[in-house]
Amino acid sequence: MNSLFTPLSWSDSGLILTGVWNTIIISVVAIVVGTVLGLIVGFLRAESNKAVNVLFGSVLDVLRSVPLIIQLILFSTFVGAMGNPLAPFVAGSIVLSLYTMAFMSEVFRSGFESVSPSMQIAARSLGMTKWQTIYHIRLPIGLRAVFPSWLGVSLSVIKDSALVSVIGYMELLRTSEQLISRTQQPLEILIGVGIFYFIISYPLSHYGRYVERKMAI
């Protein structure tokens, strides 16, 4: 149908792979940073009193309820206006990580809170210190309890990473858009992209269910 456009060819695989790689790398960064920060914030929230929690909670609420695409645009516009524009990868990583952290912190908070006070008293009565109790009892039990939710958040971060394309990050969706405008073959390309997300997510969620069953306690 299209002598005007160059059809998809093997020489495009480099571009596609760059997109795949960039999607993976920004997802991994956001999941790792979001998990670490989420653990800390989730623990502080489970431990702290009401006042601190209300303060923390409202910041997290904002992060969770403002659409990610708006956060991305706002952040990169704001930073750009300050005179030091960040590379799309850096800006995207920061926003996506904080967004992930907001969800992870709730996941971990409920994990920490799922370990009953009487379980902790039992550990302390054996002579364990507060930190030993956290490390050997609260953390492992709490993390097991929320593993499925953690995986769920992680999977949606992989999908949400597509939105970082709006600030110019060359992840999979954006490279596909470029290819589409050149080749005019949106169907093939978007189906390919869809299959990629499926190939990543499906085994992970299956693996998650497997681990969940193994850890069932």
Q: Which parts of this chain interact with another protein (CB under 8 A)? A: 116, 118-119, 121-129, 132, 136-137, 140-141, 144, 217
Largest CA distance in the chain: 79
CB of 135 to another protein, least distance (A): 9
CB of 211 to another protein, least distance (A): 13
CA angle 35-30-157, nearest 5°? 95
CB nearer another protein, residue 101 or residue 145 = 145
Rg (CA), the chain: 21
Q: Amino acid letter at 186?
A: P
CB of 136 to another protein, least distance (A): 6
Closest-CA residue to 167 (of 87, 84, 82): 87
CB nearer another protein, residue 89 or residue 108 = 108
Centroid of chain to Cα 188:
27
CB nearer another protein, residue 11 or residue 118 = 118
CB nearer another protein, residue 84 or residue 118 = 118
CB of 119 to another protein, least distance (A): 5
Q: Is the dihedral of CA 62, 65, 68, 73 positive or negative?
A: negative
CB nearer another protein, residue 9 or residue 125 = 125
Closest-CA residue to 74 (of 62, 60, 56): 62
- Look up tokens 């704001």; give the residue: 78
Residue 213 CA to residue 211 CA, distance in Å, equals: 5
CB nearer another protein, residue 52 or residue 122 = 122
CB of 98 to another protein, least distance (A): 31
Centroid of chain to Cα 174:
19
CB of 153 to another protein, least distance (A): 22
Q: Contact, 85 vs 79, CB < 8 A?
A: yes
DSSP code, position 136 = I
